[in-house]
Amino acid sequence: MLPDKVTITGHRYSGSGMEPVDITVCAEYHVSVMINGRPCVTIACSGSDLELLAAGHLASEGIICSQNEIARVEVDEKALTVNVVTAPGAEVFGRLMNVRTLVSGCAGAGPSAVCAVPAAGVPCRIEARTIISMMKEFLGLSDTYRLTHGVHSAALYDAGGERVAFFDEIGRHNAVDKLIGLTFARGMATERMILLTTGRVSSEIVSKAALACIPGIVTRAAPTSMAVDMAREMNIILVTGVRGRGFFVHHGAEYIE
């Protein structure tokens, strides 16, 4: 397994001057994701859970539309490659040609993904105090963040506030991709789950949630204007700025008790 943290030698300045110190930082790897041996995208990531990251990335960009389209995923840590082998008959390359150029690390195909986005429906209901308690637990989960302050986190909770899954990554999009990869791999129903993220909610994040049929997004950070527009269009609960006992609701206030 690739190490997700590295200790480097540096210096720390204090009032008494400069002193040598060991500093723990997040490891970064550039991993090439391939489809049937053909290069697709290079992702800057922490090097962990590469199978879930690759599958989730392709799913959240609308290139893979079903777990049944994946025959197997081949991970080569030494070569830093992940090869997604598709099942016979999967029309993956046709979709890939219709998606704009993929961007590594911080963004993806977003709204131009070509799998059908679910029609607007009725999100699950959730209590305001549950949102507060979820965020409080969520922000205390990452040992890597406490050591390095160099990762984003993402998690899935059910509407009752029970944590379903949690991942760290150096990019907020990649942390979400891992969650989606997990739901694909396990065939998990997501219609009553809430996505929590430490990062800004952009249109790409809303698009990923919509493609994964996740009805709500909660963050301690802020949204973009396009993210708010998309959440309203797709009827996805969007809660931001969760601090202490308060938060902002950009869409879905009627679903929060």
Distances (CA, A) of 54 to 48, 60, 171, 217, 220: 11, 10, 14, 22, 26
* C-alpha to C-alpha distances, 135 to 88, 141, 159, 165, 218, nearest whole angstrom: 42, 10, 13, 14, 8
The set of residues, in sequence order, having a beta carbon less than 8 Å from that of 240 and lying 6+ positions away, is: 201, 218, 219, 220, 221, 222, 223, 247, 248, 250
By DSSP bridging, strand 29-35 and strand 38-45 are antiparallel
Q: Is 106 a catalytic residue?
A: yes
* Geometric angle at alpha carbon 54, from 78 and 24, rounded to 5°: 60
Strand order in the sheet with 70-76: 38-45, 29-35, 81-86, 70-76
CB contact at 8 A, 92 and 63: yes
Q: Which of 40, 45, 106, 213 is catalytic?
A: 106
CA separation for the pair 65, 212 (Å, rounded): 10
What angle (nearest 5°) sits at the alpha carbon of residue 159, between those of residues 234 and 132?
A: 100
- 28 phi and psi, to 5 degrees? -130, 130
Catalytic residues: 106
